[in-house]
Amino acid sequence: MPDTDPEPTPAETALRAARAGLPLPADRRAAVAAAARRIRSVVAVLRELDFADTPPAFAYGAHQEPSDAAL
């Protein structure tokens, strides 16, 4: 499902932070908005990955992996 929310602007970031009870000083808004954009871009890439054949983490056992001394 594609992300239809617009990219967060400094003003929108401040509003969302205020709604969460986290006042955001004006001098930090642009930096936080940039970080939010970066996080959203990484999450968008992760959402596109197909993990259908990947077993859940609890199914992995490090002790079961064969060691290869030739590496």
- For residue 17, the SS3 value is helix
Query: How far is the C-alpha of 49 from the C-alpha of 58, rounded, in Å?
Result: 20
Who has greater pLDDT, 13 or 3?
Answer: 13
CB-based contacts of 11: which residues, under 8 Å, 6+ apart? 29
Encode pLDDT of 29-70 as tens digits.
999 999 999 999 999 999 998 878 877 777 777 665 566 666
Neighbour tally for 27: CB within 10 Å: 7
Neighbour tally for 2: CB within 10 Å: 6
